Amino acid sequence: MSERITFTEELTNLGHMNILTGASSREAYIEEMADILASDPSKYMFVSAEGASYSGKLVELKGKYPQCFVELGIAEQNAVGTAAGLALCGKTVFLNGFGPFLALRTLDQVHTDIAYQNVPVRLINTHAGVTSGGGPTHYNIMDIAIMRVMPNMTCIVPSDADQCKKAIRATESIPGPVNIRVARGKEPQVYTNTDYKFEVGKAIEAVPGNDATVIACGSTVALAVSAANGLEKEGIHVRVLDMHTIQPLDEEAIIKAANETGVIITVEDHLDIGGLNGAVSEVLAKAGLGIKYKALGLPRNEGFPHLGDMWELYDHYGFGPEGIKKTVREMLK
């Protein structure tokens, strides 16, 4: 098991969260792509629907491997069709695009051209949740619910930049399509020791504990670990599961946590229905486990989230570190 992150109690205040050491998953995966393309330029292709002229890392990648790089501009449907065609020609394709558009605007093409044909396209779904700061039209808040139910699709939500690299490498053995969800910019580094095993479909116990379990994915793993560190000082030992793979889901880890702690809270930067909550609650319902359960996320019944900074929105909607701690305390009464 990897060494957990060690936020101090003071840094559980979201106003200070952005000063934590971290790196950008978007930049990290492009750096990893450079190594992947270098290993076999004849095998891999990189398709961008972002506009390479606007991103330094993408420009560098295109300059090094022009024969492996296709830029489609802001034309996501065309990018998906191109990626599928290249995959049908024997290539393993990485498709880079803004998440709200890959999950919604191109849904027909992803469904029919990629998932139905079960081709090796890796959808790098950026600007996860409310991390874009772009408001309702640019929030990526329904993609987990959509991608996890897509036949043949593997759905991965890395918790930080280093794990994003591990996830991309881990998909090399997957013959079909993969959706990898990453945030917009710098995120806190969850694991201080990055020498840990990453396995698709196997959750990571980021923090041990038997009083309650918090299951999180993506940027909310750092929030959950921060909350667990704070609660430990109060004598409350919270298990944190980094559920980086939503499909296939680690059902065994969920059932084990339910049986051992009796309390489960899911935390996600996504609508509070259909995504991680939907996946976990389905497992618990099928297993017939009567435990205390609550889902934290963006409330579906309040409409679209407000425009704002991601950390402020996490706090506003009750799933920042303080909100998680409050929920755990209430459920343990």
Phi, psi of 86 (to 5 degrees): -65, -40
76 is catalytic: yes
> What are the distances in angstroms from CA 209 to CA 70, 178, 205, 221?
47, 32, 9, 15
- In which residue are the tokens 């995966």 written? 29
Given 76, 187, 268, 322, the catalytic residue: 76
Residue type, 250: D
Q: What is the spatial distance between Cα 255 and Cα 272, in angstroms, rounded to a whole number?
A: 20
Bridge pairing between strands 178-181 and 186-188: unpaired
Beta sheet of 44-48, edge-to-edge order = 69-71, 44-48, 92-98, 121-126, 178-181, 154-156, 245-247
300 C-beta neighbours (distance < 10 Å), count: 14
Q: What is the spatial distance between Cα 280 and Cα 110, in angstroms, rounded to a whole number?
A: 25
Instruction: Provide CB contacts within 8 A for 21, sequence distance 6+.
Output: 188, 189
The two three-digit tokens of residue 232, written as one number:
């430990």
Q: What is the spatial distance between Cα 276 and Cα 280, in angstroms, rounded to a whole number?
A: 6
Catalytic residue list? 76
